[in-house]
């Protein structure tokens, strides 16, 4: 693994694949989950979102994925506001792949078949139901498994894979979807340290193909080791946004200090 210092992102492009602009979300009776959150992510950039429980990470991810509409502010994907119309929201979701802590694989299917499910938005539904995919789709799925280091487990059932391997299959599925953005919500929260490192290496492999990755993490050392940039939330506000290698230990400790601010 290359040191974080060698991977400080040099983002000079004007076009970002996903951006949050002034996101504000409140829940009754008086909880402010997000308060003017603004940041953008470039192609091929790995951004880790850090913050204590209640900082607003979950609400931020729900807004970025279009599952929750903010009270104010905008989410844009490739320059298009996802809330302009239902069509824009649908188009945006085709460019975003979601990875969850629970993996969300079909346990009785082989790894390759689970990856091919990522082609659902690009092929007729009957092909997915009958598992009748084209040669090109299968080659893409195998290449995606190769990217995450699981080509040798392509024909292994998902329920025979370890937790870390299942999460890497989920990443391969996102790559087969031809997504431009991967949003990973606590992707290593339930994994052991070795599996966590392998999964994050796989996300870095996705970044090397030009995919933007935004991952919510609790483990500070993993964020510093694998991310190009850290966006830190506290009380629904961004309190740090900097290259991972430039945030020292004390700065990160301050992010997690309890000061009475709460978010959702």
pLDDT digit string, tens, across residues 162-196:
999 999 999 999 888 888 999 998 889 888 899 99
44-84 pLDDT, tens digit per residue, is: 999 999 988 888 998 999 999 889 999 999 999 998 999 99
* Radius of gyration from C-alpha coordinates of the chain: 18
| pLDDT higher than threshold 80 for residue 129 | no
Q: Where are the domains of the chain?
A: 1-95+180-264, 103-179
How far is 196 from 150, CA to CA, in rounded Å?
15
What are the angstrom distances between the C-alpha of 191 and each of 113, 147, 195, 205?
A: 23, 20, 6, 19
Q: Contact at 8 Å (CB) between 263 and 55?
A: yes
Put simply, whether the predicted model's pTM sits higher than 0.85 gets the answer no
119 band by pLDDT with thresholds 50, 70 and 90: confident
CATH level 3 topology of 1-95+180-264? Rossmann fold (3.40.50)
How far is 142 from 134, CA to CA, in rounded Å?
13
45-54 burial, b if ≥16 CB within 10 A, otherwise e?
Answer: bbbbbbbbeb
């Amino acid at each position: 693994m290359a040191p974080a210092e060698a991977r400080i992102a040099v983002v000079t492009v004007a076009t970002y694949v996903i951006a949050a602009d002034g996101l504000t979300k409140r829940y009754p009776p008086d909880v402010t989950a997000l308060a003017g959150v603004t940041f953008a992510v470039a192609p091929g950039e790995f951004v880790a979102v850090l913050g204590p429980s209640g900082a607003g990470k979950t609400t931020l991810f729900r807004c970025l994925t279009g599952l929750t509409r903010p009270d104010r502010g905008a989410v844009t994907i490739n320059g298009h506001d996802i809330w302009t119309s239902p069509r824009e929201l649908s188009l945006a979701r085709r460019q975003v792949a979601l990875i969850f802590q629970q993996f969300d694989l079909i346990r009785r299917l082989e790894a390759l078949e689970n990856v091919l499910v990522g082609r659902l938005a690009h092929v007729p539904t009957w092909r997915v139901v009958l598992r009748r995919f084209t040669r090109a789709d299968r080659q893409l799925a195998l290449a995606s498994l190769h990217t995450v280091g699981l080509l040798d487990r392509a024909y292994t059932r998902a329920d025979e894979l370890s937790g870390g391997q299942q999460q890497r299959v989920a990443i391969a599925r996102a790559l087969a979807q031809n997504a431009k953005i991967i949003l990973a919500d606590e992707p290593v929260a339930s994994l052991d340290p070795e599996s966590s490192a392998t999964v994050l290496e796989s996300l870095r492999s996705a970044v090397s193909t030009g995919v933007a990755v935004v991952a919510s993490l609790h483990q500070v050392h993993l964020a510093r080791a694998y991310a190009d940039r850290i966006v830190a939330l506290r009380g629904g506000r961004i309190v740090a946004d900097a290259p991972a290698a430039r945030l020292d230990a004390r700065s990160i400790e301050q992010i997690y200090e309890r000061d009475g601010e709460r978010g959702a």
